[in-house]
Structure 1
Amino acid sequence: MAESSIEWTDATWNPTTGCDQTSPGCDNCYALTMAARLKAMGQAKYQVDGGPRTSGSGFALTIHPDTLSIPLRWSKPRMIFVNSMSDLFHRDVPVTFIRDVFAVMAETPRHTYQLLTKRSKRLGQLADVLDWPPNLWVGTSVETQSYEFRVDHLREVPAAVRFLSIEPLLGPVAVNLDGIDWVIVGGESGPSCRPVDPESIRAIRDACVDSGTPFFFKQWGGQRPKSNGRLLDGRAWGEYPARSVAASA
């Protein structure tokens, strides 16, 4: 568990680490870059393959049962981003372990858990065999219009809050916000960051305003995450769903 600099959460918890690339939003994966850095510092839990950043490359999926007890020891309520360095619904994560992670969430109702996945199809397939705690928010990533189908999968999930992470925004995205409780938007950061279109951001914001969906603009992006700030048309958009279970630290 680690305190987080991500604007929309307080801390991160990684019961698994590792992933592989599944769509264009992964091309400049921050987790892959960070994993390589952490491995160089001697953290053996990160097994980076060293391959080119093309589809299928990444760092080895590893399960960490020893981390399951960490949220139990954290007494202060927090917003916790689950698997900032992995994807809990990766095909190599056993259903039994996903259940174990969900059980920890249920045992710690003081926390609010934010789980984000690109594997929306598996998320939907497993929805009926998981016990859904009321303090779990579940989201999926939609970086271009081509991945809007993930939103349909997300709507099948009985999570207390369903959210979209439209980051990095790589082109115009228009989605049906029915059944969606929160939208996060952000530009890409890092040395190879791709530019973000301000009008595409405004279109998503306007759709959220029209539908009454809370809108969170995380960043414009750039060489560093905070290079260009996060003001949109002169204001910071930092809205959250009304159904917060735990207070943000």
Structure 2
Amino acid sequence: MGRTKIEWADAVWNPVTGCTPVSEGCKNCYAERMSKRLAGRCGYPEDEPFRVTLHPEKLNEPWHWKKPRRVFVCSMGDLFHEDVPDDFILKVFLQMTFCPSRHIFMVLTKRPKRMKDIIEKFMGQMLGTSGKTMEEKQAWPHKRVWLGVTVENQEMANERIPILLKIPATVRFVSCEPLLGPVDLSKWLGICEGCGVPATKCGPVLWHKGQKCCPDCTHDFQLNWVIAGGETGPGARPMHPEWVRSLRDQCQEAGVPFFFKSWGEYKPLPYSDRGDGLHTLTEYKGCKYDFVKVGKKNAGSLLDGRTWDEFPDLEG
């Protein structure tokens, strides 16, 4: 149960399914398409399969998976949707925090403001409730619960990332999928001018008893991982190679792991005059590529002759 073909995860866990659009990246949502195929089955309502739905029977599902997995949490919805009650989200966090199996839980949202509010509430419960053991009171941030936001363009990067970086977590990441335009993450990937620690090390150690370890830090918390990928499915929009290369180069310069998932439905090929490609994108005048729709499998994930499938170092 829970196995997935998502390249950066081993399993999916969906105690909540369903969502509603909040930005341009939602336009061709794969989860909504899949829910329609599952209408009336597997817990998806027959009349409105992508309606936000709670699945309390799935809350302890990862506890039964003995072999450690990278678990994408709520791949078929958004855990922080406004229709999901606070107490249910807190139950999900308790399951992740105290799960005996050594899974990595990757929580991705387009609603970081609510994520921040809920985690602050969760921390308050852990620290302020009498009768808790010392282990329970020190349960957050948890080493194996990673927090991320979807960033499809620069507008969403500017809106969502600053909120994410205010949330205590050992790993913070962004998923630039579908990547719909150039995105500059450099100001969130740099080296701290106060302590000289790079982003890959700074994030896991900065939060200590509610305080930054380096009092001279001139930055907020940093990103520890970047995922990028093109759009898939009917109506998919092509992704320019320079958008992906830029993200990779930003990550390499900062020492941040980079994972390139796929080109999506369109494969970029050197420009030709044969007239059967999409020669230009509005964001890139004078584009030197054809974008030929070949399907995700045939488009592949090679970028400049190699795959990029890096992950954060949990021991770092």
Q: Normalising by structure 2, what TM-score? A: 0.71
Amino acid corresponding to residue 36 of structure 2 in structure 1 = A
Q: Which residue of 2 aligns with 1:177?
A: 188
2:198 counterpart of 1:189: no
Q: Distance in 2 between matches of 1:160 and 1:48?
A: 39
Alpha-carbon contact 1:123-1:153 (below 8 Å) kept? no
2:118 counterpart of 1:120: no
Shift of 1:124: 2.0
Q: Which moved more, 1:121-130 or 1:9-18?
A: 121-130
Q: Which runs of 5+ in 1 are unaligned?
A: 51-57
Q: Which residue of 2 aligns with 1:102?
A: 93
Q: Distance in 2 between matches of 1:137 and 1:158?
A: 10
CA gap 1:125/1:107 in 2 versus in 1, 3 angstroms: closer
Q: Which residue of 1 aligns with 2:156?
A: 147
Q: Which residue of 1 aligns with 2:285?
A: none
Amino acid corresponding to residue 86 of structure 2 in structure 1 = V
Give the strand-richer structure, 1 or 2. 1
Q: Distance in 1 between matches of 2:61 and 2:118?
A: 25
Which whole-Å deviations, capped at 9, do the CAs of 1:25-68 have from their partners, x for residues lacking one? 110000000000011xx406223766xxxxxxx82101111101
Q: Which residue of 2 aligns with 1:229?
A: 300
Which whole-Å deviations, capped at 9, do the CAs of 1:130-149 have from their partners, x for residues lacking one? 24332101100010111111
Larger radius of gyration: 2
Alpha-carbon contact 2:90-2:118 (below 8 Å) kept? no
Alpha-carbon contact 1:215-1:237 (below 8 Å) kept? yes
Once the two structures are aligned, what percentage of the paired residues are identical? 49
SS at structure 2 position matched to 1:151: helix
Q: Distance in 2 between matches of 1:226 and 1:244?
A: 33
Q: Which residue of 2 aligns with 1:157?
A: 167
Which whole-Å deviations, capped at 9, do the CAs of 1:8-41 have from their partners, x for residues lacking one? 01000000111011111110000000000011xx
Amino acid corresponding to residue 26 of structure 2 in structure 1 = C
SS at structure 1 position matched to 2:248: helix
SS at structure 2 position matched to 1:140: strand
Q: Which residue of 1 aligns with 2:9?
A: 9
Which whole-Å deviations, capped at 9, do the CAs of 1:141-178 have from their partners, x for residues lacking one? 01011111100011011111100000000011112324
RMSD after superposition? 1.7
Q: Distance in 1 between matches of 2:228 and 2:116?
A: 23
Q: Distance in 1 between matches of 2:32 and 2:23?
A: 14
The match for 1:134 among 124, 127, 143 is 143
Q: Distance in 1 between matches of 2:298 and 2:116?
A: 36
The equivalences for 1:8-47 within 5 A come to 8-39=8-39, 42-43=40-41, 45-47=43-45
CA gap 1:244/1:228 in 2 versus in 1, 3 angstroms: farther
Shift of 1:191: 2.1
Alpha-carbon contact 2:104-2:145 (below 8 Å) kept? yes
Q: Distance in 1 between matches of 2:177 and 2:296?
A: 12
Q: Which residue of 2 aligns with 1:54?
A: none
Q: Give the total of aligned pairs.
A: 236
The match for 2:82 among 76, 80, 91 is 91
Q: Distance in 2 between matches of 1:72 and 1:231?
A: 35
CA gap 1:107/1:227 in 2 versus in 1, 3 angstroms: same
Q: Which residue of 2 aligns with 1:207?
A: 250
Q: Normalising by structure 1, what TM-score? A: 0.90
The runs of at least 4 aligned residues of structure 1 exceeding 4 Å deviation read none
Alpha-carbon contact 2:174-2:226 (below 8 Å) kept? yes
Alpha-carbon contact 1:49-1:60 (below 8 Å) kept? no
Q: Which runs of 5+ in 2 are unaligned?
A: 124-139, 190-221, 266-293
- Higher RCO (CA 8 Å, separation ≥ 6 residues): 1
Q: Which moved more, 1:168-177 or 1:223-232?
A: 223-232
Q: Distance in 2 between matches of 1:232 and 1:4?
A: 23
Alpha-carbon contact 1:139-1:164 (below 8 Å) kept? yes
Amino acid corresponding to residue 146 of structure 2 in structure 1 = W
